């Protein structure tokens, strides 16, 4: 059995959904998998989750006409896709009616948020879960029209989690039991389940989500729970590459990686792989393939326990934009490693991700790189710990947050990270020094640096407007350009 996961760009419009259906139908014919079974996990159409959140924020802020307009645009977009794919078939009426029902549900949620005047994390999970429900039902209908026995299934019936809304943690033994009970009878009858990615439910049945990009994680949980032969994640690039192909057209595909290597790339921010995806598959020894739905004949990247010794191994350059840097420090020598650990623990407890951090004992400070949208929340958490006074301004401002504590917060906006991730077998003795030298030659302004304990990976925080040129220069200087 193979679990297929298709991301938002792969199902972004009618033509792309038709291509996904074609891939699945051809794959069945080519591999004769009628008896082995296939499971499909699908994300919301590209941009839909952001629109759903924008509508909820508008509702919370009393902008009623704005949230109604967003709801109307979402309805129109999905109905146009249904019309393009299903024509005047009975499927069109059924799926169109379901979409209208779900969007009515959305409007009721928006009204509730408007009455409360607050958009909670739990409310966010309820709102954003609708995007995958729409795309799953559309794809299932298109597959049925193509001769498949497909059925859309909400992952709220399958994936059981705690109630850590926004980034819920799966309860695997309960999830496995649900998967076996709900899906195995369908697979035995030759039905193709089309499952909503990203969303789940608590034991009490309250809708939760696995965090942004969590559809990959859904596919891994389904694959592990059903003991799949492989999990295939379909994206819009030819597997995992040595750099973002939008920045470096000469980027190479990493054809074969170990679970550990792939997990490290995901940790540093590789877009095509959610960081939590690897563990469930590694525990079960299930191979993972990263493929391109726009170029389905490309072999992509294979991730396994023990890659072939003769494989080509290249480092990868991973860049992430849309970040801010918060410097937490002390005006005297009272800053300690324990205080740094305390700051990181507080942010983690608040559900705030810190993609990169570095400690400077000589300057008595801790640099925290956080996502722009989390900046205000991070500052609130840190002020609560170090003192209530003080305010934040953009740019390089430094401010005192407590005259008694002598702690300071500095904020720098519009920064990015560039990480060079090396693997054993490729220039082990020099990748970090090569990266430092290249950035110096290029004239990149390095704001902060964090190096992995293995010595084969390093991350730089740099101004966002230098990312594109820095990544291209690094890729060339490290000898990674293809052909």
From residue 121, how far is each of 8, 56, 125, 128, 166 by CA, in Å? Answer: 22, 11, 6, 10, 6
Chain centroid to CA 147: 32
pLDDT for the residue numbered 250: 94
Q: Give the Cα separation of 28 and 164 in Å (integer).
A: 38
Q: Give the Cα separation of 73 and 51 in Å (integer).
A: 9
Contact 44, 8 (CB under 8 A): yes
Length of the chain counted residue by residue: 483
Sole residue written with tokens 């609560």: 384
Contact 246, 300 (CB under 8 A): no
For 409, residues 6+ apart whose C-beta sits below 8 A from its C-beta are: 326, 327, 328, 379, 382, 383, 386, 390, 392, 398, 399, 401
Q: Give the Cα separation of 132 and 251 in Å (integer).
A: 31
pLDDT for the residue numbered 27: 82
pLDDT for the residue numbered 32: 53
Nearest alpha-carbon partner for 68 in 118, 107, 108 = 107
Q: Which two tokens stand for residue 217?
A: 């994680």
Phi-psi domain of 431 (left: phi exceeds 0; alpha: psi -120 through 50; beta: other): alpha
Q: Give the Cα separation of 76 and 55 in Å (integer).
A: 15
Contact 395, 447 (CB under 8 A): no
Q: How many CB atoms lie within 10 A of CB 378?
A: 24
Average pLDDT across each block of 10 residues of the chain; the chain has 483 residues. List them in order.
Answer: 96 98 86 70 97 97 97 98 94 96 98 96 96 98 95 98 94 98 95 98 97 92 97 95 94 93 86 88 97 96 91 88 89 68 86 81 77 90 72 44 62 94 65 88 93 75 97 93 73
Contact 192, 38 (CB under 8 A): yes
Q: Give the Cα separation of 172 and 177 in Å (integer).
A: 9
From residue 404, how far is each of 166, 312, 400 by CA, in Å? Answer: 35, 57, 10
Sole residue written with tokens 């949620």: 109
DSSP letters spanning 428-464: TTTHHHHHHHHHHHHT----EEEE-TTSSEEEEEEEG
pLDDT for the residue numbered 267: 84
Q: Give the Cα separation of 440 and 46 in Å (integer).
A: 38
Name the residue ranges covered by the structural domains of the chain.
2-235, 321-414, 416-477
Q: Give the Cα separation of 43 and 133 in Å (integer).
A: 9
Q: How many CB atoms lie within 10 A of CB 188?
A: 10
Contact 316, 254 (CB under 8 A): yes
User: Within 13 Å of residue 81, how many CA atoms lie on the same side as its CB?
Assistant: 25
Q: Give the Cα separation of 175 and 161 in Å (integer).
A: 8
DSSP, collapsed to helix, strand or coil, labels residue 307 as: coil
Strands 365-371 and 38-42: unpaired
Q: Give the Cα separation of 67 and 113 in Å (integer).
A: 11
Q: Which two tokens stand for residue 344?
A: 């990181």
Query: 321-414, what's its fold?
Result: VC0802-like (3.30.2130)
Q: Give the Cα separation of 381 and 349 in Å (integer).
A: 10
Q: Give the Cα separation of 383 and 79 in Å (integer).
A: 47
Q: Give the Cα separation of 9 and 271 in Å (integer).
A: 12
pLDDT for the residue numbered 398: 42
pLDDT for the residue numbered 180: 97
Q: Give the Cα separation of 112 and 336 in Å (integer).
A: 46
The CATH code belonging to domain 2-235 is: 3.40.1160.10
For 274, residues 6+ apart whose C-beta sits below 8 A from its C-beta are: 211, 213, 214, 215, 216, 217, 266
Give, for 76, the enclosing helix (H) or strand (E): helix 64-86
**Burial, 476: exposed, middle or buried (Cβ in 10 Å; 0-12, 13-18, 19+)?**
middle
Query: 416-477, what's its fold?
Result: Alpha-Beta Plaits (3.30.70)
DSSP, collapsed to helix, strand or coil, labels residue 61 as: coil
- The model's pTM is 0.87
Q: Give the Cα separation of 376 and 190 in Å (integer).
A: 50
């Amino acid at each position: 059995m193979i679990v297929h996961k298709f991301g938002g760009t792969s199902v972004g419009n009618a033509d792309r959904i038709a291509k996904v259906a074609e891939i699945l139908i051809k794959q069945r014919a080519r591999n004769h998998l009628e008896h082995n079974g296939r499971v499909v996990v699908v994300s919301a159409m590209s941009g839909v989750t952001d629109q759903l959140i924008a509508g909820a924020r508008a509702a919370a802020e009393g902008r009623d006409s704005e949230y109604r307009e967003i709801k109307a645009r979402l309805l129109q977009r999905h109905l146009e896709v249904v019309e393009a794919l299903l024509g005047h078939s009975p499927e069109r009426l059924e799926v169109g009616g379901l979409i209208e029902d779900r969007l009515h549900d959305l409007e009721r949620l928006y009204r509730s948020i408007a009455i409360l005047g607050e958009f909670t994390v739990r409310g966010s999970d309820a709102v954003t879960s609708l995007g995958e429900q729409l795309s799953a039902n559309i794809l299932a209908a298109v597959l049925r029209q193509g001769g498949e026995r497909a059925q859309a299934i909400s992952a709220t019936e399958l994936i059981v989690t705690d109630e850590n809304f926004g980034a819920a943690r799966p309860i695997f033994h309960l999830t496995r039991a649900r998967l076996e009970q709900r899906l195995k009878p369908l697979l035995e009858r030759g039905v193709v389940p089309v499952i909503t990615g990203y969303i789940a439910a608590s034991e009490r049945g309250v809708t939760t989500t696995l965090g942004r990009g969590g559809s990959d994680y859904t596919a891994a949980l389904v694959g592990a729970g059903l003991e799949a032969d492989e999990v295939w994640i379909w994206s819009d690039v030819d597997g995992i590459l040595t750099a973002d192909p939008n920045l470096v057209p000469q980027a190479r595909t990493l054809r074969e990686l170990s679970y550990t290597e792939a997990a490290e790339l995901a940790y540093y921010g590789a877009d095509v792989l959610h960081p939590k995806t690897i563990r469930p598959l590694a525990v079960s020894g299930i191979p993972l393939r990263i493929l391109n739905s726009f170029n389905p004949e490309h072999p992509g990247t294979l991730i396994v326990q023990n890659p072939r010794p003769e494989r080509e191994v290249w480092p990868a350059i991973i860049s992430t934009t849309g970040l801010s840097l918060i410097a937490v420090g002390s005006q005297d020598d009272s800053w300690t490693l324990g205080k740094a650990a305390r700051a990181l623990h507080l942010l983690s407890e608040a559900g705030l991700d810190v993609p990169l951090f570095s400690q400077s004992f000589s300057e008595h400070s801790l640099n925290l790189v956080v996502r722009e949208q989390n900046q205000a929340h991070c500052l609130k958490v840190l002020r609560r710990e170090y003192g209530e006074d003080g305010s934040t301004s953009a740019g390089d401002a430094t401010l005192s947050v407590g005259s008694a504590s002598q702690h300071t917060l500095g904020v720098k906006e519009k920064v990015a990270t560039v990480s060079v991730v090396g693997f054993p077998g490729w220039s082990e003795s020099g990748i970090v020094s090569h990266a430092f030298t290249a950035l110096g030659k290029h004239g990149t302004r390095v704001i902060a640096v964090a190096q992995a304990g293995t010595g084969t990976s390093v991350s730089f925080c740099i101004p966002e407007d230098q990312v594109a040129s820095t990544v291209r220069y690094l890729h060339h200087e490290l000898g990674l350009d293809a052909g």
